[in-house]
Structures are given as structure tokens and as C-alpha cells.
Structure 1
Amino acid sequence: MFDYAQILHGIGLMMVSILSHDQDIHTNTTTIAMHQLYEQAIEVREQIHSEHVYLLRLDDEQVIYEKNAYQETSIASLTKMMTTLVAAEKLENEEVMIRIDEDMFEFLRSENLSVAGFLPNEEVNVMDLIYGVMLPSGAEASLTIAQYIAGSEEAFVQLMNEKAQALNMNATRFTNVTGMDAAGHYSTVFDMSLLLKAGLENPLFKKIIETDTHATLSTNLREDGISFRSTMFMMIDRIEQSLFKDGEIRGGKTGFTDAAGLCLASFATIDGRDYILITAGADASNRHLLPLHTMDAIYIYDHLTY
């Protein structure tokens, strides 16, 4: 695997070798080896499109690869992982039906926010709402669940920030539940890894983020309900999936805004070992044809975890 820390460490050892031994004997071979290491580092860097990357192996807490991991950035709908985790922790009744407020839809349209597909005044099971937050990244689902649990989006955001503090996400601040670009709404890919790790320890969160497709219960407006699919799994379907020899991407959350670029939080099991990968800041100008965040994830899991 190519780890910048390991590469730099190796280069440092080679420099010591040059200084500590007969230079005429060792310079040529050391220079060649250093050049090969630099070429490997450059190859990895050129293959990764995301500006921010953090790859963690879970069983031994080993950081395998990082790039601008502690630099604050917009995080788009990766925000909804916190929305989902707080909802999962605060939810007391999984059977309750909640009405979708029609007044929010003008705001959703004006901000061009993604939606799960619920209708104004539709009465929806609360669990279906939470699935609607995570899988299709529904802003109407996020706002509705926030209103139900905390009484307002502002009050729910306070719960999100309190949870972030509890998780030592010290470079994170939330101002909304949807991930829309806003002043003072930011995080780092390192902090997002803390969030995803905590989420995977919550059985409901883990079940939801691993889900590919979900069919809702009947509503007052649609007897058959609706179904939606994880945006991440849809992206993976668009790319060659046979890259992994012994592993799979088991779940994740996509995100996109103009400020954040393409973002992806995912976790995978590769050759029997579990990993978390967070990326942000991939170019989104051609995102419908080139989902660079998903391409990065597949490349990183396939090349940096063996």
C-alpha cells in the first residue's frame, strides 16, 4: 500500500544511509530507491481526485492514507450522517406517523436541495423518514425529523453540535440538518471519520447506512408507499465493481454542493479487515458522467488496503 507517512519515513532512512555509509558505494542505489518511492507517491496522488482524504483501518486504528485530513471544508450531505445518528439516538417510538409540512417545499425548491420524494401533507412513518434522510439524501425528510424530535431545525442543530463535541469533533460546526452551504457550517474528513465510526456502533444507524434499497409503509396519499435507493450504491453500480479481490464497500453516504464538491463517507471490508474512508472536494463539474468521489473510493480501497 502507498502511505505518504511510510514513504517519507523510507526516504528519511535512505538519507541516513547516504550520510552514514560510504557515499560512492551507496548513492546510486539509494537515489534509485528514493526516485521509485517518489514515483509511487506521485502515482497515488495523481489517481485521487478528492482534495481531502482520510483512510482508517478499524481493527488497529491505523491511518493508512491521509490528504488535507484536518483542513476545514464544506461537507454537503455528509452532514446527514449526524442528522441520522442524532435521530437514531433520540427516537422513542418507531411506529409514529409524521405529516410532511407543505410549507417547506418552496424553500427546498429555492435552494435546489435533494429530496427523497415525499409529498406535501403526506403522513409518513418515522422510520421511513430516517431512511429517507440517509439513502436518497432527502432534505424534506431531514427537516421533518428535526421538527419532530426537537421542535425546530435550530433546536435539532444544537443537538447535533452537542453530539459533535461529545465525539471530540473539534473542527466541526453545524448550522443546518441538510448540509446546504452556509457560513459557519464545516468539518474535516478526520472529524467525519469520528462521526461514521460512532454511527457504526449504533445498530439503527448501521442498519440504515448499509441498506441498498428501502420500501416505505403505506401513507395517507399512497397505499403502496414509495421506494428509494442509496445514492452511493447507485454510483457504485455505474462503475466496474469487480475491482476488489476479497472485499466490498458495505455502506456509505454521498454529498455534493458547489462549495464542498463531491464527497463520500464509506466503510468497507477488504481481505477480512474493516476500513473507513472519507473524501471531499472532488471536482463535480461533470458529476453525472464521472462520479469522481466513488471512483476515488474504489481506487483507494483497491490499491491502498492490500
Structure 2
Amino acid sequence: MKKNLILKTLILTVSLSLFSPFAIASYAVNNNSKQKTEATSKTAPKAKTEASTNTTSEAKTETNADGLPEIKGEAALTFDYDTGEIIYCKDADSKRYPASTTKLLTALLLSENKKPTDQLEYTESAKKQPEYSLNLNYMHNTMQPGDTVTADDIMKGLLLFSGNDTAYVIADNVAGDSTAFADMMNKKAKDLGANNSNFITPNGLHNDNHYTTAYDLSLILKAAFENDWVKSTMELDKAPITLKNSKIILENRNLTLGKNGNLAGKTGTTVPAGGCLATVYERDGRKIVGVVLKSRQIDNADMTKFNDMDAIMNYSYAATKSVYKTKGDDVGTADVSYKPFILFGPTKTISVPVKLTQDVNYYKNAINDAESKITFDGTNSSAWSLLSNKNIKLTYSTRHYSEEVTGSVDITLSAILKDNLIIYIASLVVLIIIITLILLIKAMASNAKRRKRSYSNRSRRRRY
């Protein structure tokens, strides 16, 4: 028994001596790794954010069962800048808070009402605005009501730094106060077709009644991009401005500006709005407008909304159209007008089947699926002319886009005759009656002449 105990002790001792170096080495590696991670976290928080962002970016390149990019943004949309065709959409008509992307509309109104060289007065309501503002973040709260700033510097402060105070400088100098300016914003939005938006503040700080949609914001972005002053400002990576004789350098918060095709745009974030981004991209000469709303936004270094934008842009540039309707498909009926007797008679209409003579393609998405249609404007076509040439021009349309396509009508002479059978029978009866009457009148006239000649002949015989 004692021998067994001694033997077991020896075996246990040898085992520990053999494996302990590996255990110590493993502990050392894990401990060093932990210390290294903690040191990196303390000395380079941005690197850590970028590392986590790269992981997020890879995840966002994944696609769902429909082949659409998986993004964190809850609402998004892209459309072709030149044609207006919506390529990608995700809940694009839902009401969302736009945060500082609101400033696109504010910038547009500034450009339409002031010149870059105009002097704008710094106002009391501008000074009351919270960070991020030029007054607090750059001037240490030394800006005073009555100070003047050029409109161009205010534009740069608005679009590059996204200064909350600059938006109120614009509102007060353009409209007198922010309430009147909001009226201008809403009118301009409606003029642009952004009918599901309502703006309260010029800077986009949260208000429950201040909202837009991804689709509406895309229209506002395009209008802003088409304005030379706004466009040239959004394209700047950084720019100097002068405040109270002090020169400061502003950096654009559009962190992917100049990368992957990002030409220009505007960022935004509040807690209720999440991360917002509206941009115009260009690749190989083709421009696409994009909007992402309610993405993840942990801090100012969070790249999620930019990764979302790259994902939907990559999808949009690679997207090909699907078949909406095929050549030979029935696309409904068309009402064409005509007169029963070609040039005269009451104007009537006849419904005729319409078929496509070409394939019609579209970008498949929720908006186009719901709103695509093919119509025929037959106001200048006559049923009689269509008998000899049945080819017609149709219009394929969806939101913000339309194109001409070709089709044909299935119209026959028998259909027109059948449609007017009563008129034609009645007309034939009337015609027969008229002809009969004419013949009777002619016969009566002829008989009268014969009687007259007979009477005249008898009178002459009596005289002789």
C-alpha cells in the first residue's frame, strides 16, 4: 500500500514538471496579449474604433436572400442622378429625423437669397445654439450679437463643420427669424417634390415635428448639388474662414469625401435620428444620389453610416434591370376616339386591347414594384387611323422617371361596325327613305311633265 502511494506521488510530480512550462508559457502569452490590448486601448482609441469599423464594413457587404446589401441604416435610397430612376430603396418613404442633413435645405435657401460676399450679422438666437457651433467650439463663446461674418464663411461653417449657430445666422438674416425661415424651408421642400417632410429648425436639432424621408431628402440633396455655391462648398475637404479677425481651418465631416466615388454630401447625427448621410457619388462618369437615415452612430468616429453608403452604392453601380413586362404582354386597354363616319358624326370612344411590342425593364425595388405602370395617351389617335397602323407609343412610368416604349392595339373594322350597329342601321334606313323619296319625287315630276305634254298636244289638235 505504501509502495503504491509512493509510486502515485512520483507519477504526479513528473507530470507536473513536464506540463508546467506549457502552462506558464500560456499564461505569459495571454497576460502579455491582455496588457498589449489595454495599452492600445488607452493610447489609440481611434485605432480601436477603426478596427471595429472594418469588421462592421465586412459584415455590411453581406447580402440578404434577395441579393440586397445588409445595412444598419433603417431607411435608405439611391437614384440615378441623370435619369431619376430609383435603384435601391429601404423603407424610403417612412418619416425619419434628418438631424444636420437638414442643413442642405438651409444652405440652398442661403444661396438663393444672399451672395457669398454679403455680410451676415451674428444673432442672439445663433449664440444660444449648443455644440457643435463655431462660437463654442472655435471662438470660446466670444462671438457676440452684431458681429459680422461673410455669407461664404457661414456657408462653409454650415456644410463643413455643421455649425448649429451658422444655421440660425442664416435663418435670421434671410427670413428675420427661425419661424419665418421654417415656412421658407417647407415651401422650398414642396417645390422640390419633398411632400412628406416638415421642417421646424434650420439646423436639424431634434424636434418631434421635424422630419423627412429618405426619398424627400434625396430630392433636396440633388437640388443642393445643382447649386454651384453649395456644391463647391460641399466638395471642400477643408477650408479657412475668418471670425473676429481670427483665421480658423474647418474640416469636412464627410469622412469618405473623395473616396470610392464620394463627390459631396452632408452628414448628421442626433440620438433620435441616429447616423444620417446624404451624398452624391460618381464612378466611370455616372452619378448616383444616395441617402442613409437612422444608421448606427456611437460617436463621431463611427463609420457605420459611411459603410452603409458604400454598400448601397456598390450595389447600385452593379445593379442590372429586371424585366417588368415582356414583349407581347397585355398591358390593359386604351380608349380611342373616332367619328362613326370618319369625318362627321358624334365623337365616340372604343376600348381596345393594348400589347407591348418590346420588353420593358426596370430596377426592381419596393417603390418601382408598387408604382410602375404603362399608359397610352390616345388623345391624338383615331380608331380609323389605327386600323391601318396599329403601332402606338406607350409610356412606362414610375416615381420620378418615365420613358417611351412601343406597343400595338388590337383593333378591327368589325369592332367599330359592331360598336355602331344601331347608328349604321338607322342611317341606312334613313338613307333608303331619302332615296325612295327622291325617286318618288322624280317619278311624280316625270309624270307631271308627261301629263303636261299630253294636255298640250290635245289642245293643239283641237285648234286644227
TM-score by length of 2: 0.51
Report SS of the residue matched to 1:226.
strand
The whole-number CA distance in structure 2 between the counterparts of 1:124 and 1:288 is 27
CA contact (8 A) 2:125 2:168 kept: no
CA contact (8 A) 2:178 2:202 kept: yes
Shift in alpha-carbon separation, 1:269–1:90, aligned structure 2, 3 A: same
The whole-number CA distance in structure 2 between the counterparts of 1:60 and 1:165 is 21
Instruction: Report the AA paired with residue 256 of structure 2.
Output: I
Shift in alpha-carbon separation, 1:55–1:213, aligned structure 2, 3 A: same
Q: Which has the higher contact order (CA 8 A, sep 6+)?
A: 1
- Match runs of 1:1-306 below 5 Å: 40-42=63-65, 47-91=70-114, 93-101=115-123, 104-105=126-127, 107-109=128-130, 113-116=131-134, 117=138, 119-121=142-144, 122-217=147-242, 219-222=243-246, 225-232=247-254, 235-236=255-256, 241=259, 244=260, 248-284=261-297, 286-306=298-318
CA contact (8 A) 1:135 1:229 kept: yes
Q: Where in structure 1 are there 5+ consecutive unaligned residues?
A: 1-38
Deviations 1:170-206 (A, max 9, x none): 1000011010110211000100011111112221121
CA contact (8 A) 1:114 1:137 kept: yes
CA contact (8 A) 2:121 2:148 kept: yes
The whole-number CA distance in structure 2 between the counterparts of 1:59 and 1:144 is 34
Instruction: State the 1:259 CA deviation.
Output: 1.0
Instruction: Report the AA paired with residue 75 of structure 1.
Output: P
The whole-number CA distance in structure 2 between the counterparts of 1:58 and 1:135 is 23
The whole-number CA distance in structure 1 between the counterparts of 2:262 and 2:82 is 16
Instruction: State the 1:300 CA deviation.
Output: 2.2
Greater mean deviation of Cα atoms: 197-206 or 273-282? 197-206
Give the equivalent residue in structure 2 for 1:7: none
Instruction: Report the AA paired with residue 60 of structure 1.
Output: T
The whole-number CA distance in structure 2 between the counterparts of 1:103 and 1:192 is 26
Deviations 1:265-289 (A, max 9, x none): 00010122100000101122x2344
CA RMSD of aligned residues (A): 2.2
Deviations 1:129-178 (A, max 9, x none): 01111111111111111111111111111111110111121100001101
Instruction: State the 1:98 CA deviation.
Output: 2.9
Bigger-Rg structure (1/2):
2
Shift in alpha-carbon separation, 1:298–1:46, aligned structure 2, 3 A: closer
Instruction: Report the AA paired with residue 98 of structure 2.
Output: I
Shift in alpha-carbon separation, 1:101–1:184, aligned structure 2, 3 A: same
CA contact (8 A) 2:113 2:174 kept: yes
Deviations 1:187-242 (A, max 9, x none): 0010001111111222112112222211124x4342xx21201101xx227xx95x
Deviations 1:66-94 (A, max 9, x none): 00000011110111000000110111x43
Report SS of the residue matched to 1:120.
coil
Could you say which structure has the higher strand fraction?
2
The whole-number CA distance in structure 1 between the counterparts of 2:153 and 2:95 is 32
Instruction: Report the AA paired with residue 133 of structure 2.
Output: V
The whole-number CA distance in structure 1 between the counterparts of 2:125 and 2:217 is 31
Report SS of the residue matched to 2:278.
strand
CA contact (8 A) 2:63 2:70 kept: no
Percent of matched pairs sharing the same residue:
26
Instruction: Report the AA paired with residue 126 of structure 1.
Output: A
Report SS of the residue matched to 2:206.
coil
Deviations 1:1-25 (A, max 9, x none): xxxxxxxxxxxxxxxxxxxxxxxxx
Shift in alpha-carbon separation, 1:151–1:206, aligned structure 2, 3 A: same
The whole-number CA distance in structure 1 between the counterparts of 2:69 and 2:118 is 49
Shift in alpha-carbon separation, 1:87–1:288, aligned structure 2, 3 A: closer
CA contact (8 A) 2:69 2:312 kept: no
Q: Where in structure 2 are there 5+ consecutive unaligned residues?
A: 1-61, 319-464
Q: How many matched pairs?
A: 250
Instruction: State the 1:44 CA deviation.
Output: 5.6
Instruction: State the 1:47 CA deviation.
Output: 3.0
The whole-number CA distance in structure 1 between the counterparts of 2:296 and 2:176 is 37
The whole-number CA distance in structure 1 between the counterparts of 2:64 and 2:123 is 51
CA contact (8 A) 1:270 1:301 kept: no
